[in-house]
Amino acid sequence: MKHIDIKEVFADKALVNTKVTVCGWVRTARNSKNVAFIELNDGTSLKHIQIVVDKESGVDFEDALKLGSSLKVEGTVVEGRGGLPEINAESITVIGTCPAEYPLQKKRHTLEFLRTMPHLRGRTNTFNAVMRVRSVLAQAIHEYFRSKNFVYVNTPLITGSDCEGAGEMFQVTTIGYSTEYKNEQEYYENDFFGRKAGLSVSGQLEGEMAAMAMGKIYTFGPSFRAENSNTPKHLAEFWHVEPEIAFAELPEVIETAEDMIKHVIRTLLDTCPNEMKFFDEHFEKGLIERLEELISHDFGVVTYTEAIRLLKESGENFVYPVEWGCDLQTEHERYISEKVFKKAVFVTDYPKEIKSFYMKQNPDGKTVAAVDLLVPGVGEIIGGSEREADYDKLVATMQERGMNLDLYTDYLELRKYGSVPHGGFGLGFERLIMYVTGMQNIRDVILFPRTVGSIR
């Protein structure tokens, strides 16, 4: 079906006074005395193109006024109101009709209502803008790492080892309910892989192996977590960006994270001005200014120990009490970034007990070289660390935690054969999108959210 993108009609001034063919879905329609107006959107642009039908022209348009129907329109581009292009229709073909019970009517629907129709909500301005921002950010992330000599690798989604050790792995099995097996071991031995397998919570362990060969790598793919957290910022399936850097200590990991975030936000502001203006107007007043501000200053850096002191001295009534050794909750993370620093802030050197086994142990014997990036409005968007590169120390920690070393043989061997200081981080892609759009619920920044108790 030969046609041009509606985005092109807005972008290319040379199209004025020429004939074009566009396709799209009817967003609004108005029938007045001598003319009819149809706003058409094909998803390439946030703005709809106005189709003007002169009733004298003989163009058959009656069926084309129904919201949601899909049309092919041929006509001449003219300069309309405010200098924006419009199309004077010369012929209209209804490709797909749409009945009056079409759920997306003219009024503004709530995000909760739209969540009940993931197959249609992409046709609203909000989701159209979110998905375009998502796409631009993904490309900006690839562009950033490519420009810095990182190799893009794809780590497995099915794995035999739990990276984070939090027991949040979905099990992968081909054996359904069965009472045939004497015990768990026999059951797993008979399963597809001959041992217990699950969906990966992180590509980091394999990412480290790749970095030990290619120096600087990153992964960008889905991670799965069977966390029973029904919150606005948790998904069971989220997209995870995980760089891993060889010959690097914690400060270089932090520097890369800051540089990458600044690069992708700059690219977004430059590439999607209309979408960002839309979010600024409808979802978070002052959003663009806040992002400009963010990328023009250094991010804050504070140790966990100092953050705990700040929280304790804050006089705030937190729901979760603050003590050295506690995990920071969203309310604490937001207080640190919103009230104390008023910007993005890296929190470093957490107590070893609340962090994963692979993190580098600090000389104090109490903390590890971990880092989280906290941002106002969302809380944690990045979690990372320098990795423990010393074989004996790593084995000791894993034994203390009662881990089965046999499942991590390859990982441990990296510490035997030319071990080097290295580190990396994981960025929750959806959390980044929430932060840059002002969307408050993670279910609204991914096409088909998977959350506890809900799949469609």
Q: Which residues bind ligand 4AD (CB under 6 A)?
A: 163-164, 202, 204, 225, 227, 234-235, 238, 240, 242, 380-385, 424-426, 428, 430-431
Residue closer to ligand 4AD (CB basis): 278 or 408: 408
Residue closer to ligand 4AD (CB basis): 38 or 260: 260
Tell me how far, at minimum, the Cβ of 442 lies from ligand 4AD, in Å: 6
Tell me how far, at minimum, the Cβ of 85 lies from ligand 4AD, in Å: 40
Tell me how far, at minimum, the Cβ of 227 lies from ligand 4AD, in Å: 5
Residue closer to ligand 4AD (CB basis): 36 or 368: 368
Tell me how far, at minimum, the Cβ of 427 lies from ligand 4AD, in Å: 6
Tell me how far, at minimum, the Cβ of 120 lies from ligand 4AD, in Å: 24
Residue closer to ligand 4AD (CB basis): 49 or 381: 381
**What six digits make up the tokens of 420?**
């080097």
**What six digits make up the tokens of 171?**
């099990």
In sequence order, which residues have a C-beta less than 8 Å from that of residue 359 and are 6 or more positions away? Answer: 352, 368, 369, 370, 385, 386, 387, 388
Indicate the SS3 state at residue 295: helix
Cα 409 from Cα 331, distance rounded (Å): 39
Quickly list H helices, 190-284. 204-214, 250-271, 273-282
Residue closer to ligand 4AD (CB basis): 20 or 235: 235
Tell me how far, at minimum, the Cβ of 387 lies from ligand 4AD, in Å: 8
Tell me how far, at minimum, the Cβ of 425 lies from ligand 4AD, in Å: 5
Query: For 253, what's the count of Cα atoms within 13 Å in the CB-facing half-sphere?
Result: 33
Residue closer to ligand 4AD (CB basis): 42 or 206: 206
CA distances from 53 to 12, 50, 452 (A): 22, 10, 49
Element (H, E) at 433: helix 429-437
Q: 163: which DSSP letter?
A: S
Cα 325 from Cα 413, distance rounded (Å): 31
Cα 130 from Cα 373, distance rounded (Å): 23
Tell me how far, at minimum, the Cβ of 312 lies from ligand 4AD, in Å: 24
Using an 8 Å Cβ cutoff, are 328 and 283 in contact? no
Cα 370 from Cα 383, distance rounded (Å): 8
Cα 44 from Cα 134, distance rounded (Å): 14
Residue closer to ligand 4AD (CB basis): 39 or 227: 227
State how beta strands 35-41 and 49-54 pair: antiparallel
Element (H, E) at 6: helix 6-11
